Amino acid sequence: MIAPAYVDNQNPRYFEIDNMYFIGLIVIDYYREYTDIILKNLINTNINMNLSIFYEKQDSYKTIKDLTYYIGNVGVDLKEGNSNREDIEIAAYSYEDARYIRKEMQVNNEDLYYIYTYVTVYSEDKKEVEYLANKVEGILQSNGLVTRRGNFRQEPIFLSCCPTMLNSREIKIAAKRNILSSSLISTYPFISSSICDENGVFIGTNIYNNSMILVDRFDKEKYKNANMCVFGTSGAGKSFYIKSLILRYRLLGIAQFIIDPEREYNNLCENLGGTLIKLGPTSENYINVLDIREESIEEDQGYLAAKLGKLKGFFSLVFGDLDEEKMGILEEKLIETYRRKGITFDDNSLYKEESTKINIKPIFKESKDMPILEDFYKLICEDETLNYLKNKMYPFINGSLKFMNNHTNIELDNKLIVADIHELGEDNIKFGMYVFIDIFWDKIKKNRSEKKAIYMDEIWQLIGVTSNGFVASFIYKIFKTIRKYGGSSVAITQDISDLFSLEDGIYGKSILNNSSIKTFFKLEEESIKILSENVSLTEKEKIEIAALKRGESLMFIGDNHILARVEVSDEEKKIIEEVQNEESFYSNGQP
């Protein structure tokens, strides 16, 4: 099970084991000073190699004694020797180094180590392994590390790179260099930006080194929240990435709610046994904007007070920005609309009277017991001074949006719900987005112990220039507080400029700051410039975002910045690319 079938060490330039060729390298010298991790560029490659570093701590008393003896002898030679000697400058360097090491050990309590570094590259092809060896030598040389091929010593170098702690005497002589304890950090090898959370969901691989990226965004101890932002141009791979996440979290039984303005998730929803809700002129699904749901209660507000706050956001989308006086009149008419249906600020008014008279759990009023938009419309028609409200309400009563003037008839029991608002058109999508986000937000608050996520595609519609402060504040509130309900908010957009256009971009920036995971697919130069004003990007990262290929992204996961490639299995790809299978991936909503 472990021993190879054959080993061939006859060739001094490489070592062969079971049709695999190995070439060993010994690092024999370094720069005298470093300000960065010296092996970083090597480790962040995807070259097939094994790297081994040995550290040997030296006895401090003996080391200081030997250094003192050496300093005394060399000092005499430098003082009395001929300044024209060829080795005088080398001796002077060694003398100063010895004095520096002794001082650090005596004054700053540093320890001295011997360090030995070996690299083995391998491939099934002779030419390729030679190419890889040359490449590694070039990378190391660019970082100030001098290497030597292990000709005639391939076997001991190979063994030194095995997990056997074997550092052979015949290669130690060439590799030995000294280093102080404070400088050991520059040789630290575990610096590759990889994420491998214990209960994480597979995202893809690190572009630099092919390491797997597994993220558990619901890990409260590791991440401040489970929120995500996903930005990228059209065709960069945003939707594919989001669909892969939906698929994998569906298998884990996590509740997910998707706002779909572009009709991109319908087939995925069907294949995964989800519930598809279409809202539009030809749809038979209806949602009553004025519904008050039992789970909509807020911690610091009653039912009606909380609903009025949300309705201010909805009607501000309908009527545009209203001054305080007009907003006060609007609130007054809404309160009267609910009063005529027997609903007041007393929360008991939301429960059916007959259920409160007997000794059972009170029954919350149904959608049919709530007012609809027509009830509100009739009320404002009674006041001639409110014609500015009446005219803008007309499309919702008798016009193109009259499908919103109905009692709710949808079921929300599935753990995967897709809200298709494509039929609303570009001008009216914001109404559908707001209504569904309101419903899904109530679902998220219902059970704090249950994990759930809400995906808001084209979120710029609600926090961009076409929106207003009431609506944007509601979306920001979701991102800020969803963590305590066990939830995750996901913002998706390709319109970076619109995202940061409302009130100098304070809402877009707030949502970014309240997202522990940020994923940037390929962006245009102008979008990168806007993004860099709101997110801390290095010049290198700006170049990387502009050069990303389809399916590649720059991910900010907590404090880690990783170039990632989204990857899926063939079976996942069939489902994600919306190819209809003969049998649904789920049957009757069950796996």
Dump the DSSP string for 341-377.
Answer: TT--SSGGGGB-HHHHTTTSPPPBP-GGGS--HHHHH
User: What confidence tier does 588 reach under pLDDT thresholds 50, 70, 90?
Assistant: very low
- Please state, in angstroms and rounded to a whole number, the distance separating the CA atoms of residues 14 and 517: 45
pLDDT for 37 equals 81
pLDDT for 590 equals 44
Mean pLDDT, rounded, for 494-510 = 87
Q: What is the pLDDT of residues 313-345, one digit of tens each?
A: 899 889 887 888 888 999 999 999 999 999 999
What is the end-to-end Cα distance of the chain in Å, rounded? 38
Torsion of CA 144, 145, 146, 147, to 10 degrees: -150
User: What confidence tier does 584 reach under pLDDT thresholds 50, 70, 90?
Assistant: very low
pLDDT of 587 > 50? The answer is no
* Of 305, 304, 337, 313, residue with least CA distance to 435: 313
- Please state, in angstroms and rounded to a whole number, the distance separating the CA atoms of residues 311 and 334: 9
Six-digit token pair at 265? 């998730």
* Of 31, 36, 28, residue with least CA distance to 187: 36
Q: Could you tell me how many helices (H) and strands (E) the chain has, helices first?
A: 21, 18
DSSP-derived secondary structure letter, 27: E
pLDDT for 561 equals 87
* Residues 6+ away with beta carbon under 8 Å from 446: 295
- Please state, in angstroms and rounded to a whole number, the distance separating the CA atoms of residues 385 and 394: 16
pLDDT for 149 equals 95
**What is the pTM (predicted TM-score) of this model?**
0.73
pLDDT of 299 > 80? The answer is no
pLDDT of 139 > 50? The answer is yes
Least confident of 78-92, 281-295, 401-415, 574-588: 574-588
Q: pLDDT averaged over the chain?
A: 88
* Single-letter amino acid code for the residue at 412: L
Residue, of 166 and 320, whose pLDDT is higher: 166
Residue, of 469 and 528, whose pLDDT is higher: 528
- Please state, in angstroms and rounded to a whole number, the distance separating the CA atoms of residues 131 and 269: 48
pLDDT of 209 > 80? The answer is no
pLDDT for 254 equals 94
Q: Quick one: angle between helices 425-446 and 469-481, nearest 10? A: 30
Q: What is the pLDDT of residues 228-253, one digit of tens each?
A: 999 999 989 999 999 999 999 999 99
Place of tokens 């059970």: 447
User: What confidence tier does 359 reach under pLDDT thresholds 50, 70, 90?
Assistant: low
- Please state, in angstroms and rounded to a whole number, the distance separating the CA atoms of residues 53 and 212: 24
* Single-letter amino acid code for the residue at 288: N
Mean pLDDT, rounded, for 184-212 = 83
Q: What is the pLDDT of residues 551-566, one digit of tens each?
A: 999 999 988 888 999 9
